[in-house]
Amino acid sequence: MQEASVINYKETLNLPQTAFKMKAGAATREVEIETHWDEAKVYETLMTSRNKAQKFVLHDGPPYLSSDKIHIGTALNKILKDVVTRYKSQQGFYTPYVPGYDGHGLPIENAVVKNIKGGRHAISEVELRKRCREFALANLKGQETNFKRLGVWGHWEKPYITIDAEFEATQIKVFGKLYEKGFVYKGLKPVYWCPTCETALADAEVEYGDHASHSIYVKFPVKNVDKTPLEAQFKTLLTDASLVIWTTTPWTLPANLALAINPEFTYHLVKSRWGKLLVAEKLLPAFAKVVMTPEELAEYELIGSTDDFEAIAEFEGRELEGLITRHPFIDRESPVLMGEHVTLDAGTGIVHTAPGHGMEDYLVVQQYNREQFKDNPLPILSPLDNSGKFTEEALVPELLGVPYHLGNPMVLEILRAQQALLHDSKFTHSYPHCWRCHKPVIYRATEQWFIDIEQFRPDSLKAIDTVQWLPERGRNRIFNMVEGRGDWCLSRQRVWGVPIPIFYYEDNREVLITPEIIAHLYELFKVHSSDIWWAQSAEELLAGLPENLKVQYGLGQRKLIKEMDIMDVWFDSGITHTAVVDARKDELGELPVELYLEGSDQHRGWFQSSLLTSVMLYNKAPYKSVLTHGFVLDESGRKMSKSLGNVVDPNSVIKEYGADVLRLWVASVDYTNDVRIGKNTLHQMAEVYKKVRNTVRFILGNLYDFDPAQHSVPYAELSMLDRYTLHRLQHILGNITDAFEQWEFNRYCHEIQYLCMADLSALYFDVTKDILYCDAANAPRRRAVQTVLYALLQTILPVLVPVTPHLAEDIWLSLPEAQKTKVDGVAPVSATLLPWPQPNAQYVNAELAQQFETLLSVKEAVNQALEGPRSEGKIGKSLEAQVILLPEAVAVSDLLGQLTPSEQEVLFNVSAVSVATAPPDVTPFDWHTRVAGNEVAVYAMPAIHAKCVRCWKSDAAVGKMPGHPEICERCHQAVE
RNA sequence: GGGCCAUUAGCUCAGUUGGCUAGAGCGCACCCCUGAUAAGGGUGAGGUCCCGUGUUCGAGUCACGGAUGGCCCA
């Protein structure tokens, strides 16, 4: 006895041993792992070895380089892409990922201008562009570092950037091709214009501030009623009536070309001292108060009409379509158009429409010009020069040369003279001002280059239906947009971009653009980038053309000037299918590529610009499928904003939890809708990460003495529980694979979680610990469990790769060589090179699974029963208990009979199990508990035999072992 | 203001063609263990399925209306 107690039995156990740390230490460990990937050239090696395999190309949409930081939304996007390419790569595809960046555009230009002392005109355009380029490239470095730290793999050595000389050259070529095909035309479109700075302004460059404007009501007499759908009597009523408009910009009246009416509103024709007037019913009272004298108001109230006026007739807005009015002071017709944009907020419900001076006016006129006015379109009239002075086009001689704002009182005079002015007052409202000079800006139509959508709209719509849109609703979204969109305005009055490669003869503004010139510019741009457009004059740019062409174009005789507008950045990124994919055909294959994956806002943006340009060039969509994700909101579903203080910064998440936790979050949410993130969410993901990590750690720790080549146990010799666990593994592998194929990563997350928490930690590991630790190292049933653990590892490790590549690598690097999966006979340098596990049909056993469902419900009953003695302090851990089972169904007793007593003890994790056929006499135990249900009754009580000090199980043999009086027979064998 | 979408336990998600006493994992509470140990096990409490109104024998599931939030437009 004395002798025995000297023995430290703990040292005779097979306790877990592993160098794999419980804590990730992600902040440093992940960086080490990324360094390993870089040094081992993992991505490059894979690409080289796979270049014969079937391609799966996910083409990256380029983020803006206006900052070196990345947002959580960008992180979501890049991680999703990475999960996709990693998974597909494991499935054996050749999956190149070329990261892209959008380096042109206003945000960059403005950010640079902000830092120029003395404003943008203090430096040359060439210099400004140089700084923009430097700024963009510096930001690229920053973003790249951030993307790589997310664990995103790809062709970082050679990303694509829209400011690359070659990219820009291709863009010139593409523009030339579209011009040649007749898709490009020059038109007029209103833009914000600052007459003081004499420049166009982007939306982002106007600031709103108070401004005192006129508020005037003007009569437009009816000229022609023939084309209205009205009955004759109503036509007659209208012939000598007038429509009343309200405007705050009298100076735009010379540019009036139409009136707009809302087809849904009701309009009243009323008598007044100005004759018969037409005004929206709902606005009549307000209109009356403004334009009538108190006496008149009183009089009308006496008349007792429903409104302040005496209504003669009422019309639905739509009945007035086709009505033609006369301009109050210019000999011109002003037709009535139907417009949904007409509101009842203010005015008369009839809107003065000057398409050259307002965006909504422009759009409604464009709409009519495409349809009803196709044969006789309205012009986009904008009779002001660059400095805001009236031109001849205004058709009012006294306004010629007058600045627009001084034109206001003059127009009022003219209206008065024509007796067309019903009312004039001043009022203050919010009005756009120039961000630089802070003076009010105007809308002014300028010449711009457009793409004529009509020519290929039907083809585009057809192309949309060749694409798989995920989620499906995306199809309708983009279809409706393309179906209803207007022409694409390509021109931007900026500096930082690719120029519209057009020359004009200075004498008559005739356009010069030919395939030869485009080819020449292509070569120039390829060498010098688009910078050369600003560095050289038109003559210099064309100096290299062959002599015969120079003669043909009249160079040297007629002076040429360059177009100075640049292209819309959506055109830049829209043609990446050509400037990137087609240009790297060897690497990226033929168009269309497999997948575009962006936020759902890109239905209007990149998906569309890519589609339209691709249809124009190739008459097909550039992608086979389009997958979209929603936006990232805070934990309560609000948009993130600095002012709310609810912004989640990906870098701080990585610092606190590591990139894999962030990636796990990405995988856990249903990204097809908007997703939420916050402290709580991240903390929870960290818990999941830890659980997975510890599950693997348990496996590694218990495989320290296992060599699969020597110790593996054949399937037939595995216990029922072992085989069930393999079945579960297989089942979950199937679900996971299916989830990845559908891009439903949240299902993957749930499956992995369930496997680790329920199947393994709470069940298999918990009950096999006794075997692993206490059996002799080489005991068959211990080797069997290790065989299962090894099978688990071989499947779990590779499936961790797409979402948590750092974790997978960390595991891989701590594996002994003998346990590493071999690919072509060699263990790969990185876990990320492991193939996706193949399903193993041998492990699938539906019958066994069904049987186990029942056994597990018995286990559940046992657990419930054990709570009885435990709550009374009679037992602690389950091993201190024994149970008597009384099956209430034949199936249950049959099943229990299939397990040996020792297997029963293992499954229920107790010291003894007996299966009774009749209720036992439990009187000696006043602490028994019986749990009904589960088709079994369970009687739980403390084990009666002495406890083995080695394995902590109570057993009748304790005390009978020679030389080891404190241990049981199994332990005795293990020790001896 | 228009188009599209979402809303099931504190969190992340399941809920097939209407049959649910609405599930899972986490988190939480309580208990146990101390040989996976800044780990592990067990039990349990949590839900007017956003709100109305319909259709139906029966609605988380279908229809209509509304609220809130999001994206895109105006």
Instruction: State the nearest residue by CA to the C1' of B68.
Output: A637
Given a cut of 50, whether residue A2 has pLDDT beyond it is no
Given a cut of 50, whether residue A627 has pLDDT beyond it is yes
Instruction: Return the closest-CA partner of residue A810 out of A930, A593, A659.
Output: A659
Point out the nucleotide closest to A871 (alpha carbon to C1′).
Answer: B31
DSSP A316-360: EGGGGTT-EEE-SSSS-EEEEEE-TT--SSSTTSEEEE-TTT-HH
- Confidence tier at A404 by pLDDT (50, 70, 90): confident
Point out the nucleotide closest to A665 (alpha carbon to C1′).
Answer: B12
Of the ranges A267-271, A309-313, A382-386, A514-518, which is most confident? A514-518
pLDDT per residue as tens digits for the range A56-73 = 999 999 999 989 999 999
- Confidence tier at A219 by pLDDT (50, 70, 90): confident
What's the CA A467/C1' B20 distance, rounded, in angstroms? 39
Instruction: Return the closest-CA partner of residue A682 out of A642, A653, A640.
Output: A653
Instruction: State the nearest residue by CA to the C1' of B36.
Output: A698
Report chain B positions within 7 A of protein CB atoms.
3-6, 10-14, 24-27, 31-44, 69-74
- Per the document, the length of chain A is 976
Instruction: State the nearest residue by CA to the C1' of B69.
Output: A637
- Tell me if A397 sits within 8 A of A387, measured CB to CB: no
Point out the nucleotide closest to A633 (alpha carbon to C1′).
Answer: B70
The reported pLDDT for the residue numbered A6 is 58
What's the CA A645/C1' B69 distance, rounded, in angstroms? 18
> Which one is predicted more confidently, A164 or A274?
A164
pLDDT per residue as tens digits for the range A863-894 = 999 998 998 899 999 999 999 999 988 889 99
What's the CA A658/C1' B71 distance, rounded, in angstroms? 30
Structure tokens given for A430? 């919010």
What's the CA A635/C1' B46 distance, rounded, in angstroms? 20
Point out the nucleotide closest to A695 (alpha carbon to C1′).
Answer: B36
What's the CA A876/C1' B46 distance, rounded, in angstroms? 27
> Which one is predicted more confidently, A122 or A713?
A713
Point out the nucleotide closest to A667 (alpha carbon to C1′).
Answer: B12
pTM score of the predicted model: 0.89
What's the CA A332/C1' B3 distance, rounded, in angstroms? 37
Point out the nucleotide closest to A12 (alpha carbon to C1′).
Answer: B35
Global ipTM:
0.96
pLDDT per residue as tens digits for the range A60-119 = 999 999 899 999 999 999 999 999 999 999 999 999 999 999 999 888 988 898 888 887
What's the CA A684/C1' B11 distance, rounded, in angstroms? 7
The rounded Cα A346 to chain-centroid distance in angstroms is: 39
The reported pLDDT for the residue numbered A330 is 82
What's the CA A670/C1' B55 distance, rounded, in angstroms? 32
Rg for chain A (alpha carbons), in Å?
Answer: 40
Point out the nucleotide closest to A602 (alpha carbon to C1′).
Answer: B72
**Rounded average pLDDT over A684-692:** 95
What's the CA A670/C1' B64 distance, rounded, in angstroms? 28
What's the CA A480/C1' B50 distance, rounded, in angstroms? 29
Instruction: State the nearest residue by CA to the C1' of B14.
Output: A747
Q: A619 vs A440, A452, A590, A613, CA distance in Å?
A: 45, 15, 14, 9
What's at A807, amino acid-wise?
A: L
